Amino acid sequence: MSEPKRYEAMGPEVIATPTGEFVLYEDYARLKAEVERLTAFCTTTIIPNDKLQARIEQLTRAVSSSPVAQARLKELEGKITFDEINPKEVRP
């Protein structure tokens, strides 16, 4: 997003200046729309992550208190590929 052009009143004239106190309405409207779009984006992406984080913590607590899950994790320790974790059954 580009910076809006700023303007300053110099007597009866309005001139463009980088430190001016005024911006064109079109620039203001564009910036306002961008803020609203980013706010909506953050609301839909960040807030659900809080719920996801809570669910991850809940599942972590459940796994850490389950002897069966702990045994399975110990069994999987050091395995990183799908085939290592899910070996194909050998059939006669």
Task: Grade residue 92 by pLDDT with cuts at 50, 70 and 90.
Answer: low
DSSP characters over 14-54? EEE-TT-SEE-HHHHHHHHHHHHHHHHHHHHHHHHHHHHHH
Looking at per-residue confidence, does 32 or 25 come out higher? 32
Q: What SS3 class is residue 8?
A: strand
Could you report the per-residue pLDDT of 33-69, keeping only the tens digit for each? 888 998 888 878 776 777 888 888 888 888 888 888 8
What pTM was computed for the model?
A: 0.40
* Separation between Cα atoms, residue 46 and residue 67, nearest integer Å: 34
Q: How confident is the model at residue 1 (pLDDT cuts 50, 70, 90)?
A: low
- For the four alpha carbons of 5, 8, 10 and 11, in that order, the dihedral sign comes to positive
Which run of H or of E encompasses 55?
helix 25-64
Instruction: Give the chain's mean pLDDT.
Output: 80
